[in-house]
Amino acid sequence: MNLRKEARNRPCMVRAPGICSGDDSTTVLCHISGGGMGMKKPDLIATWGCSNCHDAIDGRRYGLEKDYRRLLALEGMQRTQEQLISEGKVKW
């Protein structure tokens, strides 16, 4: 299964307060940081995020503190994985 394609038109799971657009048409698979510059984690270590939330957790916009961005991303990853498990697309 292609988790990047699976993210298309899904609800944002990051849900950053005051930032999230709620626009499912902009949702992409957002990788959780931590692999080092230019290194991405596997696609399962990611969350579905709207374009606004993706910018926020990547630190491109909104000026959120690093720890808060990481918390938003990890909570989004949890919700994303729970959804994939409930749909039987990821086995637990």
Please write the tens of the pLDDT for every residue from 59-89: 999 999 999 999 999 999 999 999 999 999 9
26-55 tens-digit pLDDT: 999 999 987 666 677 889 999 999 999 999
Residue numbers annotated as active site: 31
Q: What's the CA gap between 30 and 44, in Å, rounded?
A: 10
Please state the pTM of the whole predicted model. 0.91
Nearest Cα to 73, choosing from 44, 40, 31, 42? 31
CATH 3.30.50.20, applies to 3-86: yes
Look up residue 53 and give its amino acid.
C
